[in-house]
Amino acid sequence: MSLLEVRSVDARYGLLQAVRNVSLTIDEGETHALVGANGAGKTTLLRVIAGAHRPAAGSVVFDGADITRIPAHERVSLGIALVPEGRRLFPGLSVEENLKVAAGRRGGDAWTVERVLEVFPMLQSRRAQRASTLSGGEQQATAIGRALMCNPRLLLLDEVSLGLAPKAVAAVYESLRGLIGSGTTVVLVEQDLGRALAVASRVTCMLHGQVVLEGTASTLTRAEITAAYFGVRSSPAAGAAT
């Protein structure tokens, strides 16, 4: 069943068109990776879905309802939570306080502080520690946990591994496996193809604001995704008639 539909969306920053006629369907319970190089339009598309950027054309449909003109804070109440690039925690608050800031933003009690700490065990000993003193990986885990405290039906993750040391990336993704296993619907923006393919059920590759490749992670080859990622076109078959 489709939880989210992006229909023919254009998005601009002034005269710059960042997203061009993009359509996308996200099914309930899937993990969908958006991959592509810098400037491909991935983050802008995520912001359109979250309501942080209004599209110039097209529509966003969530659970059968058109939410294109609904502001971001109301989309949180509907069940859409965004973990933005850069994490944007409250540096003077503790891990637990950062988590509790988002509690109650949407009905339900599926996600609590204790459950977040179970999914991200690296935070258990940091519970009372200020966010400003955490490592990059711990900050990322806290940011994801804060979004989960909204009890989202759709979790949007922007550049999970950006700026993190390899060990921190591995720890965050190991915790994400548990989250994905719980059935949470996730849209993941990631430049690290290996990490994205390891957790995603479906993959969409963007280039210059457009979708250039889409399919299941199990059927797309690494070579196909890499070629689409860099905009490499196949050469004519050898021996073709001249």
Whether 113 is in a domain gets the answer yes
Q: Which of 83-92, 97-106, 178-187, 200-209 has the lowest mean pLDDT?
A: 97-106
* Calpha distance 82→74 (Å, rounded): 13
pTM, rounded to two decimals? 0.89
Find the mean pLDDT for residues 16-45. 95
Distance CA 163, CA 166 (A): 9
Q: How far apart are CA 189 and CA 21, in angstroms?
A: 19
Is there a domain that residue 138 lies in? yes
Q: The CATH number of the domain where 122 resides is what? A: 3.40.50.300
Interval 61-96: pLDDT, tens: 999 999 999 999 999 999 999 998 877 899 999 999
Select from 240, 154, 158, 168 the least CA-distant residue to 196: 158
Q: Which two tokens stand for residue 119?
A: 């999914």
Give 107 or 61, the one with higher predicted confidence: 61
Say if residue 119's pLDDT is above 70: yes
Q: How confident is the model at residue 233 (pLDDT cuts 50, 70, 90)?
A: low
The answer to whether the CB of 23 falls within 8 A of the CB of 60 is no
Q: Are 174 and 193 in contact (CB under 8 A)?
A: no
Let me know if residue 17 belongs to a domain: no
Calpha distance 85→103 (Å, rounded): 21
Of 2-6, 21-25, 62-66, 188-192, minimum mean pLDDT range: 188-192
Percent of the chain with pLDDT over 90: 71
Percent of the chain with pLDDT over 70: 93
63, part of any domain: no
Rounded to an integer, the average pLDDT of 152-162 is 92
**Residue 37, in any domain of the structure:** yes
What domain range includes position 200? 30-47+78-230
Q: What is the mean pLDDT of the chain?
A: 90
Domain assignment present for residue 111? The answer is yes
The three-state (H, E, C) secondary structure of 52-83, written as one string: CCCCCEEEEEECCEECCCCCHHHHHHHCEEEE
Mean pLDDT across the stretch 187-211?
Answer: 93
H/E run at residue 49: helix 42-50
Report phi then psi at 55, rounded to 5: -70, 150
96: left (phi over 0), alpha (psi -120 to 50) or beta: alpha
Tally of structural domains, the chain: 1
Q: How many C-beta atoms surround the C-beta of residue 65 within 10 A?
A: 9
Question: Quick count: other Cβ atoms within 10 Å of Cβ 110?
Answer: 13
C-alpha distance across the termini of the chain, in Å? 48
| pLDDT band, very low/low/confident/very high, at 108 (cuts 50, 70, 90) | low
Q: Tell me if 205 is assigned to some domain.
A: yes
pLDDT of residue 18: 97
Question: Which DSSP helix (H) or strand (E) runs through 157?
Answer: strand 154-158
